[in-house]
Amino acid sequence: MSIKRVAGICRVLIRHGFGNFSDWLSGSGVSHNKPIDIKENVSLSGFPSPERIRRVLEDLGPSFIKLGQLMSTRADIFPAPYIEELRKLQDQVPAVSFFEIQQVIEEELKQPIGSIFGECLSESIAAASVSQVHAARLFTGEKVAVKVIRPGIRKIIEQDIRLMYYLSGKIEKNFELGRIIGATNIVKEFERTIFNELDMFIEASNIDRFGKNFQDSTEIHIPAVHWGLTSKSVLVMEFIEGVKMDQVDALRAIGIDPEEIALIGLRSFSRQLMEFGFFHADPHPANTIVMADGRVGIVDFGITGYLDDEMMQHVAHLLLGFAEHDYDMVMEALGNAGILREDMTNLKDFKTDLKDVSEPFYGRSLKTISVRDVYDQVMQLVLKYHIKLPRNLLLLFKTFIQTEALGKILQSNASLLEVSRPFAKKFLEKRYAPENLFSEMAKDFKDMGSHLKMAPKWLHDILKQTAAGKQRLELHHSGFSSMDTRMEKGINRLTIGIIIAASTIAASLILNSSQKVLEFSFNLFGRQTLTITGILGLTGYTVATILGIWLIYSIFRSGKM
């Protein structure tokens, strides 16, 4: 870790009254293990206010601003006041000099900038914490947008991420709340997200994929990527001329109906979810441009979300369930998605609360409904019932909010659920078509055959590792106690039967034997003679008779003759 960066962060923390955090960061603090109740963390005396946390993140620089923006999407673990405050974080920063940008372009593309562009404007048209954009013109006359990663930003972010891991570990160690929200996991998620944004090849691939998805569309236009002029830190793409979506008066001035633009946006978003499973997750006005011919151009594909076929199915059922007031369908979709667990004893209460939240919003247009209000109330339920949501589902909810915000700006009367309903129905009809069902069955059988083929090798590897002492096999059985009892009873009866037979045979042999041992006489109704061998024989018969009667009785009593 950079000592200079640590010292800088400590100064920021102390300036905002986080002296104890500064001590922990520098390693001089005392551990405080008093747990913090997540239900009390908003009003708990002494707990940092949302505004203080936002200001600290802003002063800590681009990496921490990006982290705060990620945290603002995690309404499943942060209370509403903190989410609302973190949404205010903006990563608009002053542009770096064109000289520095030119150096990056020439270093990445291995040629002078004058050989690449006929013209490149020195003034940036957009500047953010990670990158900035310049307009340029190729020698063919085509106007392009050149997106360049800020010089040195990668090294700063790498240092900050190491500090974030260190700080998150300290937070989890000293605060029960830190363990509940999973501070280290949030940093891991941020690391994955930010390094995707730092790789222009990933964004270029996203643009290409969107272009193919919407190549048949007459409503949506995706810019073309110039792959020959694209590298890890430089992205050159088609420049889209037009009006930003939120400039309603300018749209009307060129004869375009803002409400129709809102419908195009909703239809596009529905297609992204229900047809492609790949969606643009940052549709704010600056990234949505209305062209002169009425098409909507989408730019900046640094943040995207994915839904696999299974999750698309769950989302389709959710949309239809809400659209048709079918809360059983909603609950089933949430359960199948793994959001609701079977061991939750209060599913009935959750369903009732969800219905109470959702019903008041039915039949209302975007003008009178706030998806953000619905989202905030649903997230309160998520916190109340301690539900963890998948990252892409949270990203989807955030995109819903941004899409709704655009609809409101455009004064649309459209209903988000009504627009998405036919797309959801079409997806499910296609999903349950016979040919697709048979295709899935064939795939399952193929997977099963592959597993069966590999089973002997897996078994061999397990036994080999076990023999080498690298693995240990433990066998646990259950449900055999009654079998043990029945076997024990059977063996006992068999033993008694053998004793009866042996006693009977021995008694017969003794009584019929000509050998007499200790013969003696006594008077009982005349002179009687008795021997020890005779007594033993009679005793054997008596024992055999008693045991036989008891054995027959126990068999009859068990009802298993």
The DSSP result for 438-456, as a single string, is HHHHHHHHHHHHHHHHHHH
Q: Is 282 part of the annotated catalytic residue set?
A: yes
Is position 31 within any domain? Answer: yes
> Looking at the chain, how many residues does it have?
561
For 268-339, strand residue ranges (E) read 278-280, 288-290, 296-298, 304-306
Of 464, 359, 363, which is closest to residue 414 (Cα–Cα)?
363
Tell me the DSSP string of 115-146: HH-SEE-SS-SEEBSSEEEEEEE-TTS-EEEE
**One domain for residues 252 and 374:** yes
**One domain for residues 494 and 547:** yes
Count Cβ atoms within 10 A of the Cβ of residue 285 and give its class: 0-12 exposed, 13-18 middle, 19 or more buried.
Answer: middle
Is position 543 within any domain? Answer: yes
Of 403, 397, 427, which is closest to residue 415 (Cα–Cα)?
403
Is position 235 within any domain? Answer: no
Distant-in-sequence, close-in-space partners of 549: CB < 8 Å, separation ≥ 6: none
What is the model's pLDDT at position 10? 79
Q: Domain boundary residue among 401, 430, 460?
A: 460
**One domain for residues 316 and 413:** yes
Q: How far apart are the first and last CA of the chain?
A: 82
| Domain total in the chain | 3
**Are 493 and 551 a contacting pair, CB within 8 Å?**
yes
C-alpha radius of gyration, the chain, whole number: 39
Distance CA(133)–CA(289), nearest Å, equals 16
3-state secondary structure at position 522 = strand
Is position 212 within any domain? Answer: no
Is position 337 within any domain? Answer: yes
What is the model's pLDDT at position 33? 44
Is position 129 within any domain? Answer: no
> Which run of H or of E encompasses 147?
strand 143-149
**One domain for residues 451 and 488:** no
Q: DSSP class of residue 38?
A: G
Q: Is the four-CA dihedral 144, 267, 254, 287 of positive or negative sign?
A: negative
**One domain for residues 249 and 358:** yes
**One domain for residues 436 and 550:** no
**Are 252 and 245 a contacting pair, CB within 8 Å?**
no
Is position 447 within any domain? Answer: yes
What is the model's pLDDT at position 151? 92
**One domain for residues 409 and 293:** yes
Distance CA(392)–CA(386), nearest Å, equals 18
Distance CA(272)–CA(296), nearest Å, equals 15
Q: What is the pTM of this model?
A: 0.66
Range(s) of the domain holding residue 500: 481-558
**One domain for residues 422 and 310:** yes
Residue from 59, 208, 246, 282 carrying the catalytic annotation: 282
**One domain for residues 369 and 435:** yes
**One domain for residues 346 and 490:** no
What is the model's pLDDT at position 181? 66
Count Cβ atoms within 10 A of the Cβ of residue 184 and give its class: 0-12 exposed, 13-18 middle, 19 or more buried.
Answer: middle
Structure tokens at 100: 């520095």
Structure tokens at 412: 């649309």
Is position 201 within any domain? Answer: no
Distance CA(203)–CA(208), nearest Å, equals 9
Distant-in-sequence, close-in-space partners of 335: CB < 8 Å, separation ≥ 6: 342
**One domain for residues 314 and 392:** yes
Distance CA(170)–CA(167), nearest Å, equals 5
Count Cβ atoms within 10 A of the Cβ of residue 234 and give its class: 0-12 exposed, 13-18 middle, 19 or more buried.
Answer: buried
Residues of the chain with pLDDT under 50: 29-46
Q: Domain boundary residue among 460, 490, 511?
A: 460
What is the model's pLDDT at position 501? 75
What is the model's pLDDT at position 340? 78
**One domain for residues 365 and 502:** no
